[in-house]
A and B are shown apart, each in its own frame.
Chain A
């Protein structure tokens, strides 16, 4: 870890502040040794691959980085709307092509250096210039400038109403200090502005210590220790024994048992992830709309979620979960096997027909859901052959278009563009089913630049209705994000975007 000369002074000053706020944390930091009783031990299922926020794609890394880095704006825990973070406020020009952000004052990086607009420009230029994995989020960005230390100006080539979501929805868009990539080994070190500093990481776990100078006020706990426990039953045992105080490794079949368990507290929220089935428009008879609609009519989503998630999910015939401001209440399909059979007859397709359904054991609930779907399609004359592949083969076959149908999930994040554009535009990068509807293309393209929020939602709703009616995706459900912790742990909230933030946690 980087040391700096200012820290002891600042830490002494910070000690006074939390003492005024809450009685429980008066002793915080008094021990001096750190890592004592006031450290939260969290069990996570996987080890981070690296800590460079602009490079990694691993959720396990973001679980840690969420607590170490900040973004200009951040989704609120309640409804994921964008709130100020490192940017205090922002304005857009009347032509919607210039966004001006005013940065927060008095923010310091963990090495003591001050945060200013040059850091923002450096971070964004690094993502754009090195064409890192999130560069696509800057597709409409023409320039990022720093006219003065407290101001950042982003110019875009066309109106981009979802720019805040693009730059703030997760820590892949984190602000690192200027020249951080040269001064630090970002793969294993971090210099962020977040509530915790990355202390060390090895095969056993990752240790974070509280950053006393954090602009939002120092955390009440001394630090966080992430431990990797792959087996869910071991994680739950560790939680019951008090070896760990928090875990997100809770399989759905355990939820019912844990709800009555006094040694464990459960938090659950419908996540922005959605599971779907997709049929190949290039493979007859799945190019036939009636066949796809027959399949959509035969599937009973309640039975699917019961077997695959033990009910820990919300069935949904569209992508965006209920509770999101962009939720669309649209459910045209009612499970009815007779109606499904009539649709198949109407399509003039010879039954029984065989449908290969590609799933992967990387996501076991797709294997379970596929077995339910197979039993539901059998009565209407569709013989489902479940093709279980390892994930690499699965992805390869998907990109080759070598499938009748497949099942997987997307994490939709927040903005409707994230839910629909890549998947359903004719030119969409993830449109593996080769769906092409000029009407949908037109609606989505207009929605992307529509600045009036109501009109924008209306355009996305229209597009979503057609996508559902055409069965470009056969949407199934939004799973619950379930996490568990010891009773008495407070100040923690399960978020729909599955981001894990321990800033305000207090231990029992």
Chain B
């Protein structure tokens, strides 16, 4: 039981691979973190479930009993049965298969958009926090402008301008989360920047690049890792919202949000049409959130107050 989540934490929180291996005392702390995480049952279970969802997304075509668009008009809106555990939709398509295949869509958009936000946002936050003064002012005021728009509204606006489709959904959601990562990183960097070991390193003539990569980033990383997990939850949710509104993948590609939108018209006759894709969204989002909470407790309890302002 305690060993199980260990491999699982790797795919669930891939971004740490960037800052962590370069961290000053990498291995002991890495191990310790995972050990602590395994002892937090909620986070551990969430991590296991997420691993299963990721595996489902990776091996979707092998796992799905039917193709996503295999239609059979004689099986229109069938309730759950042994042949079709999640029932069928109005085209007689197997909803279980479409939920499985929809995982890849949701997670791809989720991971790629958060990766975009993580790289760009962290970079901006690092520069703003480390250099301060006019760099800080310029970058952070820009971030404030982006931050002023409600997240989903901003994403819809971006997709509306650039046109619907998965690539634009990734970009839209990514842009929306850039300011959050910038803020979290900057706040964390500000706390680390004036630490004795940083000043000591600078006094012996270390370059800015060395300071940032060797000292500042590794020590500012924990809140960023937590933010990554929480943002993944919101990104999956945002993807579902955009798809629901018809701004994500095009029909007939399977997508959880699109299935919710289509199933809505049949809610009187076919509860399974909306319930199962809805459950998939709920479980994924909940697990990312719970894992994020667990990581926060494990990584650095003192960071809690900082985080409170960052999540949305």
Residues of A within 8 A of B (CB): 233, 251, 253-254, 257, 302-303, 306-307, 310, 361, 364, 367-368, 370-372, 374-375, 378, 385-388
Contact = CB atoms under 8 A, between A and B. Distances in A.
Contacts of A310: 76, 90
Contact of B269 (A253, A302, A375): A253
B71 A361 contact: no
B57 to A, nearest CB: 23
B312 interface: no
Given A310-B76, A371-B91, 18 more contacts: A251-B265, A253-B266, A254-B268, A302-B73, A303-B73, A306-B73, A307-B91, A310-B90, A367-B251, A368-B91, A371-B71, A372-B71, A372-B91, A375-B69, A375-B252, A386-B250, A386-B251, A386-B252
B156 to A, nearest CB: 13
A385 B164 CA distance: 14
Nearest to B76: A306
Contact of A374 (B90, B246, B252): B252
B267 A233 contact: yes
A370 B69 CA distance: 12
Contacts of A387: 250
A364 B265 contact: yes
Interface in B13-47: none
A306 B92 CA distance: 10
Contacts of A253: 77, 90, 265-266, 269
A131 B252 CA distance: 44
A379 to B, nearest CB: 12
B260 to A, nearest CB: 15
A4 B90 CA distance: 56
Interface residues of B, number: 18
Nearest to B69: A375
Interface string B67-89: 00111010011000000000000
B268 A233 contact: yes
B76 A303 contact: no
B71 A303 contact: yes
A368 B71 CA distance: 12
Nearest to B67: A375
Contact of B251 (A254, A257, A303, A371): A371
- The 5 tightest CB contacts between A and B, nearest first, are A306-B73, A303-B73, A371-B252, A375-B71, A307-B91
A257 B268 contact: yes
Contacts of A233: 267-268
B120 to A, nearest CB: 31
A364 B265 CA distance: 10
B265 to A, nearest CB: 7
Contacts of A375: 69-71, 91, 252
29 contacts: A251-B265, A253-B77, A253-B90, A254-B268, A257-B268, A302-B73, A306-B73, A306-B76, A307-B71, A307-B73, A307-B90, A307-B92, A310-B90, A361-B246, A364-B265, A367-B251, A368-B90, A368-B91, A371-B69, A371-B71, A371-B91, A371-B252, A372-B71, A375-B71, A375-B252, A378-B69, A385-B250, A387-B250, A388-B251
Contacts of A361: 246
Interface string B266-305: 1111000000000000000000000000000000000000
B90 to A, nearest CB: 6
Contacts of A302: 73
B175 to A, nearest CB: 23
A303 B77 CA distance: 14
Looking at A233, A253, A385, A387, which has the most chain B CB atoms within 10 Å of its CB?
Answer: A253
Contacts of A370: 251
Contacts of B69: 371, 374-375, 378
Contacts of A378: 69
Nearest to A368: B90
A253 B76 CA distance: 10
A250 to B, nearest CB: 12
Contacts of B77: 253
A388 B250 contact: yes
A307 B76 contact: yes
A257 B71 contact: no
B252 A254 contact: no
Contacts of B91: 307, 368, 371-372, 375
A407 to B, nearest CB: 13
Contacts of A372: 71, 73, 91
A302 B70 CA distance: 17
A374 to B, nearest CB: 6
A42 B171 CA distance: 47
Contacts of A386: 250-252
A372 B92 CA distance: 10
